[in-house]
Structure 1
Amino acid sequence: MVFVLDKKKRPLMPCSEKRARLLLKRERAVVHRLQPFTIRLKDRLLEQSVLQPVGVKSDPGSKVTGAALVRREETVNGPVDHALHLSQIAHRGEMVHERMQKRAASRRRRRSANLRYRPPRFNNRTRSQGLLAPSLRSRVENVLAWVERYRRLAPIVFVDVETVRFDTQKIQNPEISGVEYQRGELFGYEVRGHLLEKWGRRCAYCGAEKVPLEIEHIVPKSRGGSDRVSNLSLACRPCNQAKGSRTAEEFGHAEVQAKAKPPLKDAAAVNTTRYAILDGLREMELAVRAWTGGRTKYNRVQFGIPKAHALDALCVGGMAGVSGWNVQVLEIKALGRGQRCRTNVDAHGFSRGYRMRHKTVHGFRTGDLVQAEVPHGKWAGTHVGFVAVRALGSFRVEKADGISWKRCRLLQRADGYEYRKIPSVVSSPGVNAGASNAA
């Protein structure tokens, strides 16, 4: 479906692609936005239209959040939801985390290089109640921002959101019950004693005994590993240094890697942000209802709908039926709006170049959607895509490089997201979150 606005840019009921094409051909409407595609009528006001109940359904995940816009129809058997628009939002939490680490390394190097020693201070390190890490806050703000955007494009009156809570101990041990929840791996041990018992007081890699042993990460922290006891092993100094930043499997010891339990950061991220998303939605003064992951799975199985992020969102809530789900999905990838830092640094925090002082060049900014008409040369033809600007006015549009700014025509301003269409029953590779799939 195509989003429709009245002549004062107020949301009306979405229409079919065929009807939108006819309205544009008869010059009764103009293109308001390309992604998501939206038209604006020239001869219609909100007061002259009849609106039906439209809602947003959301299935928040660690790496990907599914969203669905539906038109609700009340029947004798209960409400039936008709899909109007499906999308999935790929978060950039990992990117935010990496940039925060890079910034911390740069600051640490500057302080140690330019300042005399200063003892650490702890009297100003308190955190406000409910504070989320930047990587988690990015996920929450993406979900809230897109619900607000959909409110500007469609007459939204209700929101259904899944607030699943993952049992991290049951994920590790499905048979756990009763008092075992209070007894972790270290029950009756200290960390070092537990590791010595677990690894038989010998190096996990070469089997050396009666030598000094060091605590080592099976999956290095630089590769996403954690300080959980299940990710720790014992190694002699030569093996620890030879392993470096490789995983145990890459080091040639798959049997050691098999003892490391999978990380639970995706489940932890969902558990941490679920109420922050719910509270943010309730502040929008909409009819917000929270549902469990079990209800989502029940609806998906009952109606025979395949598993995908956007389709999971469509199955959130109580309903007697669903239709119109086998359509293309708009994949929305969060990229951010660039960086405020104007200095490029290497992995050790040393300066290695500078960015432009101003981000706008001849009216274009990196990330704008443009159309470039190149009459001759290596890149002759029409190129449509996101632009990367340079101070000299020689731009890059998708794969075409060295295109003059005079050949570019602006289609849509950068808004911090990248868009593409994918089938509804196939999720894009590399963005599936284990926590969201576990529901």
Structure 2
Amino acid sequence: MVFVLDRKGRPLMPCSERRARKLLEQGRAVVVRLEPFVIRLKDRVAEEASLQPLRLKIDPGYEVTGISVVRVAGGKEVVVFFAEVHHRTDVPGKLLSRRQARRSRRSRKTRYREPRFDNRGRPEGWLPPGAVARVNQVLSVVGKLVRWLPVTEIVVESAKFDTQKLQNPEVSGVEYQRGELQGYEVREYLLEKYGRKCAYCGKENVPLEVDHVVPKSRGGTDRVSNLTLACRECNRAKGNKLPQEWLEELKNSGRAVDRKRAENIPKVLARLKEPLKAAACMNATRYVLVERLRALGPPVLTATAAQTKYNRARFNLPKTHYFDACCVGEVSGELEVAAGYVQVFRAVGRGTRQMANLDRHGFPRGHRARGKIHSGFMTGDLAVAEVPAGRYAGRYVGYVAVRRSGYFDLKDLSGRRVCQGIAFRHFKLVQRFDGWRYEKFKIAALSSPHLKVGASSAA
């Protein structure tokens, strides 16, 4: 599918790749951008065009958000476009790293200065930076689609996750006010839960320590479902390893205590509860996302997760983010899948604020250039490299990694480096970097009596 704009840059109905090629060959259209492919007609305005209602559906997710665009035609819905937004999950880790570097620097440079006391209140509607990033990424993609397609309505799944029910489906009434630690301190709760012995080696009558199964340095939380009891020897042996990493290490050991630990690690993991970090994030952002979507213009409707699940079962669709998106809200009549591929929008950010490169000991090993643009290119630009001779002779298309020297590297669209040290004069700019990576993949094969025959298979 190709996005089409009129002479004044306003969205028209999309067309097929074949029709877009003919329009370009006839000189009736010009290319606006390549990824995703957008053309502008030189002889058509929106008032003269026949526009059909398009409904944009969103299934928000913690790591991946599914998006679909359906054309409402009579008693059926035709899916014309699938997309997935792959969110950045490194925001909290990067903020923590920056905070630690600052604190380390100020403890060395301002030794006798009192730390700034955190007594400032958070404004109403405050969200953690990772959650804000997810909302902004969805808004960015939806904003692009609203500019390229004549969207008449937006439907977003805005279902609340019941974090208590996720842990205990039987919870109800006053039990919502009684957390699992009512009447217990955390340590006493763990002592009772694990029988007052080390969860890894089984030792009793020894001092026990509270251990984070997934270390906090690796993204773990203080939630009770991430805590267990360990003797000092086991706690030190585990260190900041993930359970799976430690288990692989123990399997190669011949010590009897390590064999015992290897036996007990799966038992410890089986007793842990499902982490609710994703559910908490979705709860926090659902209202904010809906309110900010309203500012884009088209009317916004909300739907529940139960509705999505019902529609997916009704049409016998695979459990994927993009198929979930086309099942959001009410789907009356038939569902026809005309899209053959999924457009991926992968958020990669716009670089780094860290100016010093570090060696493995943490000491500065050179500094980055202050400017991002070198010889007319910046890292992330989509470009064509035509290398006339040498080891990398040939024609390449991909993303540029620039150097101040003017000799650049190039990665293909999958992120694999294909050539390096190529002079800038052999590159031709195709599209400026905008903080996203664009990919495509074919949709999953479909087979359902409820889908239109011939439209249920991937193109």
TM-score (structure 2 length as normaliser):
0.87
One-letter amino acid matched to 2:392: W
Question: What is the Cα deviation at residue 194 of structure 1?
Answer: 1.0
Deviates more, 1:287-296 or 1:245-254: 245-254
Aligned match of 2:78 in 79, 82, 86? 82
The answer to whether the Cα contact below 8 Å between 2:54 and 2:72 also exists between their aligned partners in 1 is: yes
Give the direction of change, closer, same or farther, for the CA distance of 1:285–1:8 in structure 2 (3 Å limit): closer
Question: What is the Cα deviation at residue 285 of structure 1?
Answer: 2.9
One-letter amino acid matched to 2:78: H
Question: What is the Cα deviation at residue 277 of structure 1?
Answer: 0.5
Counterpart-to-counterpart distance in 2, 1:198 and 1:325: 54
Query: Alpha-carbon deviations, 1:147-176, whole Å to 9, x = none?
Result: 111111111221000012212222222333
The answer to whether the Cα contact below 8 Å between 1:5 and 1:40 also exists between their aligned partners in 2 is: yes
Counterpart-to-counterpart distance in 1, 2:50 and 2:355: 51
Give the direction of change, closer, same or farther, for the CA distance of 1:331–1:265 in structure 2 (3 Å limit): same
Matched, 1:185 2:180: yes
Counterpart-to-counterpart distance in 2, 1:363 and 1:145: 26
Alpha-carbon RMSD across the aligned residues, in angstroms, is 1.9
Aligned match of 2:161 in 166, 190, 197? 166
Counterpart-to-counterpart distance in 2, 1:118 and 1:192: 36
2:12 corresponds to: 12
The answer to whether the Cα contact below 8 Å between 2:400 and 2:408 also exists between their aligned partners in 1 is: yes
The answer to whether the Cα contact below 8 Å between 1:55 and 1:69 also exists between their aligned partners in 2 is: yes
2:429 corresponds to: 410
Query: Share of identical aligned residues, percent?
Result: 51
Query: Alpha-carbon deviations, 1:182-213, whole Å to 9, x = none?
Result: 33321221111111212222222233333322
2:277 corresponds to: 265
Give the direction of change, closer, same or farther, for the CA distance of 1:268–1:348 in structure 2 (3 Å limit): farther
Question: What is the Cα deviation at residue 272 of structure 1?
Answer: 1.2
1:32 corresponds to: 32
Query: Alpha-carbon deviations, 1:120-169, whole Å to 9, x = none?
Result: 55464211111111111010001111111111111122100001221222
Counterpart-to-counterpart distance in 1, 2:185 and 2:232: 22
2:251 corresponds to: none
1:305 corresponds to: 317
Give the direction of change, closer, same or farther, for the CA distance of 1:287–1:210 in structure 2 (3 Å limit): same
Give the alignment of 1:203-242 within 5 angstroms. Answer: 203-242=198-237
Deviates more, 1:194-203 or 1:157-166: 194-203
Question: What is the Cα deviation at residue 336 of structure 1?
Answer: 0.8
One-letter amino acid matched to 2:72: R
Q: Equivalent residue of 1:258, what SS?
A: helix
1:129 corresponds to: 124
1:380 corresponds to: 393
Query: Alpha-carbon deviations, 1:272-329, whole Å to 9, x = none?
Result: 1111100101122321100001111112222232221111111112122321255100
Give the alignment of 1:313-352 within 5 angstroms. Answer: 313-320=325-332, 321-345=334-358, 350-352=363-365
One-letter amino acid matched to 2:14: P
Counterpart-to-counterpart distance in 2, 1:353 and 1:173: 53
1:294 corresponds to: 306
1:360 corresponds to: 373
Give the alignment of 1:15-164 within 5 angstroms. Answer: 15-75=15-75, 80-92=76-88, 94-122=89-117, 124-164=119-159
Number of aligned positions between the proteins:
421
Q: Equivalent residue of 1:106, what SS?
A: helix
One-letter amino acid matched to 2:81: H
Give the structure, 1 or 2, with the largest relative contact order (CA under 8 Å, sep 6 or more): 1
Counterpart-to-counterpart distance in 2, 1:303 and 1:204: 46
One-letter amino acid matched to 2:57: K
Counterpart-to-counterpart distance in 1, 2:144 and 2:394: 34
TM-score (structure 1 length as normaliser):
0.91
Question: What is the Cα deviation at residue 257 of structure 1?
Answer: 2.4
Q: Equivalent residue of 1:295, what SS?
A: helix
Counterpart-to-counterpart distance in 1, 2:17 and 2:118: 60
The answer to whether the Cα contact below 8 Å between 1:370 and 1:410 also exists between their aligned partners in 2 is: yes
Query: Alpha-carbon deviations, 1:347-373, whole Å to 9, x = none?
Result: 886433311111001111111100111
Give the alignment of 1:388-427 within 5 angstroms. Answer: 388-398=401-411, 399-425=418-444
Matched, 1:245 2:240: yes
One-letter amino acid matched to 1:117: Y
Counterpart-to-counterpart distance in 2, 1:7 and 1:173: 57
Give the direction of change, closer, same or farther, for the CA distance of 1:118–1:208 in structure 2 (3 Å limit): farther
